[in-house]
Structure 1
Amino acid sequence: MKVLLILSALVGVAFSATAIAPAHGKYCYHEKHRIGIGMTYYPPGECMEITCEGSGGEAKLAHYLTCPPAPVTDSNDLVIVERRELKYPKCCPTLSRKIEQESPSQRREYSINDIPDDMK
């Protein structure tokens, strides 16, 4: 299990794809959004980063960075977490431990006396 997690982390750091930018002078375009040369754009609701590259004042290509495939797990205590409200790469899917909702009968009250002296 740990080997699978480590392999997933090593293999899927980031995927990138390079696309030729439409020939529109000083800008690259993503859908209807205009991106200036040297500028980076994070499309809302999409987990990616787009950078416009060019030379001599002419846009040459748009460089897209996207997330690797979602991690795979066979463990029941791990879940895939996506944070689409964050910018790339923090929005990419990650594995996280599942937090079970505890019932009121499982709750325990703690007091200052429960904390070891060396942690106070």
Structure 2
Amino acid sequence: MLSFVFFLLFSWSQASDIQWRSYLVVGKSVNFIVWPEKRLIISSNCKKADKKYESLRTKDLHCTAWDMIHKKRKIPDVKIEGGQNPGALICEALKAKVVMGKDGINNLSFCQFDDQSLISTGSLSHYYF
């Protein structure tokens, strides 16, 4: 019984921690899934269409940005010099494009893949280092 209660609490907390935020990226408003527990900021176009936001799990994500951290593709050694953004260097090593986003208060750099999925460079560096 106790393990069942723990499972319910754990499952609930995963979904309840998810936040949503919009950033202006290359002149377009893009919605993002912000998952602090997983240190993940990823574009909402990665969410499978039939999944509800309230019950979202990582298994419900499907896009190149997610695949790059979930399958952790091999990259050449990234050398960080002079305060360079590690996530931006990883993005370039993955042959993707670094773009900037603004939410009205903050600027955030993202890695954009060919399928137009985006992930924050901070999330990339967290999962690769």
Q: TM-score range by the shorter chain?
A: under 0.3
TM-score by length of 1: 0.26
- The structure carrying a bigger helix percent of its residues is 2
Of the two, which has the highest radius of gyration? 1
- The structure carrying a bigger strand percent of its residues is 1
TM-score by length of 2: 0.24
